């Protein structure tokens, strides 16, 4: 990602080891992750030869981009001129990470006492029984689209509900979507038999 820093932002970054910037629109310092909890943990800071550009080197706790992508630089010029499957895949991941970021914000907000009617996401996060019942309900409705031969749009809609409620459950358990995707990548890199054997060994 790219951001603007001033002397105070740089000093705060070195002190806290969290990537900190200066928001010109809000006229204040802001730490990446202060809302989404996707902090960038800084290991080193470098200056360029002219000392007018700074690079933060660090490990992010989650997606770096506000869209939910791992990086803000995910749009290739070639992809923009001629949309490809790669770009569609990036969009799918960005959508998941963006949803995860929104759910994380709701989780952070639910820990604070607030007036007014809570959002549906907050209600789910505050009620484990309700959340689990919705995950089971939506999974059953997804299966019924197959059993009753419903149209593809209905199946996609029910799958969206399953994904959303499952991701709220992940947030409640403190599990990142990247952890789930990493397990899937590992499983699909080996045969089903090998994967099952590795599970029994644990």
Compute the radius of gyration of the chain from its Cα atoms.
21
How wide is the angle at C-alpha 37 spanned by C-alphas 32 and 40, nearest 5°? 45
User: If DSSP codes are grouped into helix, strand and coil, which group holds residue 78?
Assistant: helix
Q: Is 170 exposed, middle or buried (0-12, 13-18, 19+ CB in 10 A)?
A: middle
- HSE of 99, CA atoms in CB hemisphere, 13 A: 18
Chain segment 23-63, per-residue pLDDT in tens: 988 899 999 998 888 899 999 999 999 888 999 999 999 88
Report the alpha-carbon distance of residue 141 to residue 154 in Å, rounded: 10
Chain segment 125-137, per-residue pLDDT in tens: 999 999 999 999 9
Residues 73-78, mean pLDDT to the nearest whole number: 74
**Is pLDDT of 121 > 60?**
yes
User: pTM for the full model?
Assistant: 0.55
CA nearest neighbour of 158 among 133, 141, 134: 141
> Which comes out higher in pLDDT, residue 93 or 57?
57
Report the alpha-carbon distance of residue 133 to residue 153 in Å, rounded: 24
Low-confidence winner among 17-26, 63-72, 96-105, 112-121 (lowest mean pLDDT): 112-121
Low-confidence winner among 22-36, 68-82, 102-116 (lowest mean pLDDT): 68-82
Low-confidence winner among 25-29, 38-42, 172-176, 193-197 (lowest mean pLDDT): 193-197
């Amino acid at each position: 990602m790219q951001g603007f820093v001033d002397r105070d932002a740089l000093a705060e970054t070195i002190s806290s080891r969290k990537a900190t910037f200066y928001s010109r629109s809000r006229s204040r310092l802001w730490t990446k992750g202060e809302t989404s909890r996707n902090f960038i943990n800084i290991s080193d800071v470098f200056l360029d030869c002219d000392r007018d550009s700074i690079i933060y080197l660090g490990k992010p706790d989650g997606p770096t981009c506000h869209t939910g992508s791992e990086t803000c630089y995910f749009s290739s010029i070639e992809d923009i001129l001629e949309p490809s499957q790669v770009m569609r895949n990036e969009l799918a991941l960005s959508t998941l990470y963006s949803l995860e970021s929104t759910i994380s914000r709701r989780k952070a907000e639910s820990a604070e006492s607030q007036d007014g009617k809570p959002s549906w996401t907050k209600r789910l996060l505050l009620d484990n029984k309700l959340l689990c019942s919705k995950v089971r309900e939506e999974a059953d409705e997804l299966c019924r689209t197959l059993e009753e031969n419903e149209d593809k749009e209905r199946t996609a809609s029910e799958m969206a509900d399953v994904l959303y409620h499952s991701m709220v459950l992940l947030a409640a358990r403190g599990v990142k979507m990247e952890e789930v995707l990493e397990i899937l990548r590992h499983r699909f890199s080996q045969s089903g038999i090998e994967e099952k054997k590795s599970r029994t060994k644990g």
